[in-house]
Amino acid sequence: MWRFWKCIYLTYPASLTPSVSAFTKKPKSQTAEIGATVIFEAETEKPDVKVRWQRDSKDIASSYKYTISAEGNIHSLTINNIVQEDAVGYAVIAGVSKVKFELKINESEVKEPKKAVSPDPAVAESKPEEPKEAPPAPDTSGPTTDGVAPEGQSESHQPDTRQDLTGLFTEKPKSGEVNVGENITFIARVCGESLLKKPTVKWFKGKWMDLASKSGKHLQLKEHYDRNSKVYTFEMHIIAAKANYAGAYRCEVSSRDKFDSCNFDLAVHEARTTEGLDIRTAFRRTSTDAGEDSGELDFSALLKKRAVQVSTEPDVDVWEILQKAPPSEYEKIAFQYGITDLRGMLKRLKKMKKEEKKSAAFLRKLDPAYQVEKGHKIKLQVEVANPDAEVKWLKNGQPINPTGRYIFESVGNKRFLTINNCTLADDAAYSCMIGEEKTVTELFVKEPPVLIVRNLEDQMVMKGERVEFECEVSEEGAQVKWEKDGVELTRDESFKYRFKKDGCKHVLIINDVTKEDCGHYRVKTNGGQSLAELMVQEKQLEVYQNIADLTVKAKDQAVFKCEVSDENVKGIWYKNGVEVKPDARTHITHIGRIHKLTIDDVKPEDEGDYTFVPEGYAFNLSAKLNFLEVKIDFVPRQDPPKIHLDCMGRTAESTILVVAGNKLRLDVPITGDPAPTVVWTKGEKVLTDSDGRVHVESTKGHCIFTIEGAERQDEGVYSVIVRNPAGEDTADINVKVVGYVLERKKKKSYRWMRLNFDPYKETTFEAKKMIEGVAYEMRIYAVNAIGMSRPSAASQPFVPVDI
């Protein structure tokens, strides 16, 4: 064992010693024909090093002439459509390292086809060849990263064009990578010199998600116009990137009959940590279990080259389900398993080969498809015939470079590709090549279930109002389904229902509700659901204050006043069946819920029956105006006592309603000479100041009776008796406490729901339509003809039980 340690120590330092230059592979000078395309490549020691390209000691910017790209630690400069002036000196700079190289023009031989020149034969072999029979298409859509479109690119990543591409882009947005929390900008430029009007640009994620509606804190779309160069610049800024921003994007530009489209990708990585070279990384234990500790050293596995166990597929294979399912079930399966790009996945499924020819280079090829949950890792395995054979791994036809997320392993005649912390950007086609032979597979990255963070709440509204059911889910842009009584709701139902998305919030809007809209509404995701009830009440006009009969004297003012529940209701006043028209003495007002008819300087002809009729309702309110003629009688010595009340005796009009708990004050005008004595009684009992809550007092011309905090036992008939030597007078007043309105709410909610609309006259009430096991609270209003009292304090929480 000690000898083994010594051997390892002596062998590895030579390969781990960092070189002086920042480049592990330097670009070399090349010779090319006029009109061709040349690619210079450089490879850096670290993948996150910033690289600059220069031409004659001046920095080169990406444009239609020069294409600058970087993938991992490989950086490339592509010079398109070579001309004589391009034969100058170039340089690539990384940190303090600078490498110079030259481009030379061979004018003696000019080939007709424009063929890309690659500095590295190994890289050229990894690129798919164009068909030999058909000549290359002219470059009308701007430069591409590699000069040649990869043949293995999936159909889901091809431009979704509605017209033929016309090459409007002078600079296309390039694929990029960013760490979580960092910013990134994608730029597209369009030359407006030949355009009659400003071009229209749209940015998409996936196939159909228009990003214009997603602009906000994390996404900003900007545009500029340079009048000198007549170039439109369109920018998409992603601020504080999140892991779920990764994926395929598309930029479309159109101007009248011209159209162009460009696809690009965004990869979002976890925040990088600076790590030095560590010899122990060569001996990390390889594990296919995501929960197993992979940080221990395992020398025995390195020496014996034991076979590594291949990661098992999940219990549910979405690829297999889609292959066996009928087309009518595709949408349902996509919603259930979180497939955001269903069209692209079906195209990839259609391209998968059902029968593969036997290969001399591969003993075991890749499976047709794999799937993995987002954030987990996946291991792809092949077996080769030659244990010493070198393999190349490709993603969407592009070579994969080993990084912290992509790990290559070779154990005997087995080759492994491990992808750690899978993101949506890893959802692609993968292939393994040995020479000209390759095996291809598809990887589907499954998103985690979408959970409902905030549930729906029950709603009770009046007919004709607007209702909004709102919930909040765990992921932005998640798909949800709305149902009513088990039937899915769609936008096709005469625009009855509207669906709104705002980040993680989802809202169902129902306009102008009717009784048919009552029921249970449910929102579903692939990871949960929430249920709420909608109750719709018919609108009924309630009379809070009726108009009363009036008896007035000449030249006095008569005011008829009523109050209804709906402040928008209008009405008409009638006198003896004839509509009342406003004039100098007659005024009609409507302020909120209160309607008034005022008559100034009352005359005998104003006497009659007055009626108020609310518009749209089949009832009316009536009262009578009595004209009181004043007669003067001469009494030489004594005036008998008199109680001056509008209503006398034991009639319905003499009943006074008081809200329970409120103060009752009766101020009764009296006359008499000499001043009469006043006695208040309830039944046979005489009431005095010593009765606690009851106060009796007399002033000149008035007797006042007060009850502090009226209670149910205070109901009854009260009598007032005034006496003097000339006689006596008596009046009875009926005090009554009537009507209650009850409300309930869930303890964790803020919405109170009314349990009754008509005043409830009993002191016991049975509440229904409550969910068993959920805590509720109750509160009570007292109601009389004047209006409603303030609500009582909420009751102690209680949980209903089904008995």
The sign of the dihedral angle between the CA atoms of 500, 505, 511, 513 is positive
Q: What is the pLDDT of residue 629?
A: 78
Closest C-alpha among 704, 645, 640 to residue 676 = 640
Residues with Cβ within 8 Å of residue 681, at least 6 apart in sequence:
687, 718, 719, 721
| Beta-sheet pairing, 459-462 with 528-537 | parallel
Nearest to 756 by CA among 770, 771, 737, 740: 740
| Contact status, residue 573 vs residue 610, Cβ threshold 8 Å | yes
Backbone angles phi, psi at 133, to 5 degrees: -75, -40
What pLDDT does 418 receive? Answer: 94
DSSP line for 373-399: ETTS-EEEEEEESSTT---EEEETTEE
Residues in the chain with pLDDT values less than 50: 1-19, 109-164, 273-314, 353-355, 648-652
What is d(CA 699, CA 519) in angstroms, rounded to the nearest whole number?
62
Per the DSSP assignment, residues forming a β-bridge with 627 are: 552
Query: Nearest-5° angle of CA 210, CA 216, CA 221?
Result: 60
Question: Residue 357: its pLDDT value, please?
Answer: 57
Residue 518 in tokens = 């009552």
Scored b (16 or more CB within 10 A) or e, 539-572 reads: eeeeebbebeebebeeeeebebbbbbeeeebebe
> Residue 344 is inside which H or E element, if any?
helix 342-351
Looking at residue 301, its pLDDT comes to: 43
Phi and psi, residue 12, nearest 5°: -80, -35
Inter-residue contact 430 to 417 (CB < 8 Å): yes
For residue 505, the one-letter residue type is K
Residue partners of 355: CB distance under 8 A and separation at least 6: none
Report yes or no: 279 and 260 within 8 Å, Cβ to Cβ: no
The answer to whether residues 585 and 594 touch, using CB atoms and an 8 Å cutoff, is: no
Give which of 614, 606, 613 is closest to 550, Cα–Cα. 606
Closest CA relative to residue 186, chosen from 259, 251, 231: 251
Burial 377-391 (b: 16+ CB within 10 A, else e): bbbbbbebeeeeeeb
* Strand intervals (E) in 227-283: 231-238, 247-255, 258-269
CA distances from 794 to 457, 739, 757, 791 (A): 19, 19, 19, 8
Summarize the chain as % helix, strand, coil (round to 5): 10, 40, 45
Three-state SS annotation for 93-120: EECCEEEEEEEEECCCCCCCCCCEECCC
Q: Which amino acid is at 604?
A: P
**Which uninterrupted H or E stretch holds 284?**
none
Report pLDDT for 568.
83
pLDDT of residue 532: 92
- Residue length, the chain? 803
Residues 6+ apart with CB under 8 A from 479: 335, 340, 450, 525, 526
Q: What is the pLDDT of residue 343?
A: 59
CA distance 222 to 237: 8
The predicted pLDDT at position 23 comes to 84
Cβ contact 422:374 at 8 Å = yes
State pLDDT tens for residues 437-468. 889 998 888 877 888 999 999 988 888 888 99
| Strands of 511-648, DSSP E | 519-525, 528-537, 543-545, 550-553, 558-564, 571-575, 578-579, 586-591, 594-599, 608-614, 621-628, 639-643
Check residue 348 and give its pLDDT.
64
Sequence-ordered list of residues with C-beta below 8 angstroms from that of 440, at least 6 positions apart, any chain: 152, 353, 366, 429, 430, 431
For 567-621, how does the pLDDT look when each residue is reduced to its tens digit (9 = 90+)? 888 899 999 989 999 999 999 999 999 999 999 999 989 999 999 998 877 778 9
- How many Å from the N-terminal Cα to the C-terminal Cα in the chain? 77
Taking alpha carbons only, the member of 145, 150, 28 closest to residue 80 is: 145
Go through the domains of the chain in sequence order and give each one's CATH number.
Answer: 20-151 (2.60.40.10), 155-272 (2.60.40.10), 280-446 (2.60.40.10), 452-537 (2.60.40.10), 543-628 (2.60.40.10), 639-736 (2.60.40.10)
Structure tokens at 283: 């001996």
Identify the sign of the CA torsion 397, 401, 407, 411. positive
Q: Which residue from 555, 629, 550, 655 is spatially nearest to 597, judged by alpha carbons?
A: 550
Model-level pTM?
0.29
